[in-house]
Structure 1
Amino acid sequence: MTTNQATFFNNIPLSVLDLAPINEGSNAGQSYKNTVDLAQHVEKWGFNRYWLAEHHNMPGIASSATSVVIGHVAGATDRIRVGSGGVMLPNHASLVIAEQFGTLESLYPGRIDLGLGRAPGSDQATAYALRRTLNTTPEDFPQQVEELESYFDENSSARVRAYPGTGLNIPIWLLGSSGFSARLAAMKGLPFSFASHFSPDYTLPALKIYRDHFQPSENMDKPYAMLGVNIVAADTDERAQYLATSQQQQFLSITRGQPSRLQPPVENIDDLWAPHEKAAVAKTLESPASIIGGPETVKQKLEEFIKETEADELIINSQIFHHKDRLRSYEIVGELMK
Structure 2
Amino acid sequence: MALKLSVLDQSVACVGRGQDESIRNTVALAEHCEALGYNRFWLSEHHSLPTIVGTAPEVLMAAIAARTQRIRIGSAGVMLPHYSPFKVAEQFRVLDALAPGRIDLGVGRAPGSDQRTALLLNPDPRSSQHFPQQVAQLSAWISGEAVAEGVQALPMSGTKPDLWMLGSSGYGAQLAGHFGMPYAFAHFITDGEGTKEALDLYRHTFKPGLIEKPHATVCVWALAADTEEQAWHLFASRERARVNRQRGQFGPLLPPDEARGGYTASEQAYVDDLRRKAMVGTGPQVLAKLQALADDLGIDEVVVITWTWDPAAQRRSYELLAKAV
TM over 0.5: yes
Deviation at 1:33, TM superposition (A): 2.2
TM-score by length of 1: 0.90
Deviation at 1:261, TM superposition (A): 0.8
Match of 2:181 in 1: 190
Q: 5+ residue gaps in structure 2?
A: none
Deviation at 1:175, TM superposition (A): 0.3
Match of 2:257 in 1: 266
Does the 8 A contact of 1:19 with 1:63 survive in 2?
A: yes
Match of 1:240 in 2: 231
Match of 2:84 in 1: 93
TM-score by length of 2: 0.93
Match of 1:14 in 2: 5
Counterpart amino acid of 1:227?
V
Match of 2:208 in 1: 216
Q: Number of aligned pairs?
A: 323
Deviation at 1:324, TM superposition (A): 1.0
Tell me which stretches of 4 or more aligned residues in structure 1 moved more than 4 Å. Answer: 165-168, 280-283, 285-288
Structure 2 residue corresponding to 1:330, chosen from 295, 313, 318: 318
Match of 2:134 in 1: 144
Query: More displaced, 207-216 or 169-178?
Result: 207-216
Distance (Å, rounded) in 2 between the aligned partners of 1:281 and 1:129: 35
State the secondary structure of the residue aligned to 1:16. Answer: strand
Does the 8 A contact of 1:98 with 1:165 survive in 2?
A: no
Counterpart amino acid of 1:253?
N
Distance (Å, rounded) in 1 between the aligned partners of 2:284 and 2:258: 23
Structure 2 residue corresponding to 1:63, chosen from 54, 58, 66: 54
Match of 2:305 in 1: 317
Deviation at 1:207, TM superposition (A): 0.7
Distance (Å, rounded) in 2 between the aligned partners of 1:43 and 1:272: 39
Match of 1:72 in 2: 63
Does the 8 A contact of 1:18 with 1:317 survive in 2?
A: yes
Structure 2 residue corresponding to 1:131, chosen from 122, 129, 145: 122
Match of 1:201 in 2: 193
C-alpha change, 1:127 and 1:287, in structure 2 (3 Å) is farther
Does the 8 A contact of 2:100 with 2:160 survive in 1?
A: no
Distance (Å, rounded) in 2 between the aligned partners of 1:249 and 1:169: 41
Distance (Å, rounded) in 1 between the aligned partners of 2:206 and 2:275: 29
Structure 1 residue corresponding to 2:19, chosen from 6, 16, 28: 28
Counterpart amino acid of 2:82?
N
C-alpha change, 1:95 and 1:189, in structure 2 (3 Å) is same
Query: More displaced, 273-282 or 122-131?
Result: 273-282
Match of 1:4 in 2: none
Query: More displaced, 92-101 or 326-335?
Result: 92-101
Query: More displaced, 32-41 or 319-328?
Result: 32-41
Does the 8 A contact of 2:177 with 2:207 survive in 1?
A: yes
Does the 8 A contact of 2:119 with 2:125 survive in 1?
A: no
Percent identity, aligned pairs only, is 39
Structure 2 residue corresponding to 1:293, chosen from 259, 281, 303: 281
Deviation at 1:287, TM superposition (A): 5.5
Counterpart amino acid of 1:336?
A
Counterpart amino acid of 2:162?
P
Counterpart amino acid of 1:27?
G
Deviation at 1:45, TM superposition (A): 0.9
Deviation at 1:21, TM superposition (A): 1.2
C-alpha change, 1:123 and 1:135, in structure 2 (3 Å) is closer
Deviations 1:155-213 (A, max 9, x none): 42613432336985210000000001101111111100000112111101001101112
Does the 8 A contact of 2:141 with 2:147 survive in 1?
A: no
Query: More displaced, 54-63 or 44-53?
Result: 54-63
Q: 5+ residue gaps in structure 1?
A: 1-6
Distance (Å, rounded) in 2 between the aligned partners of 1:278 and 1:129: 37
State the secondary structure of the residue aligned to 1:142. Answer: helix
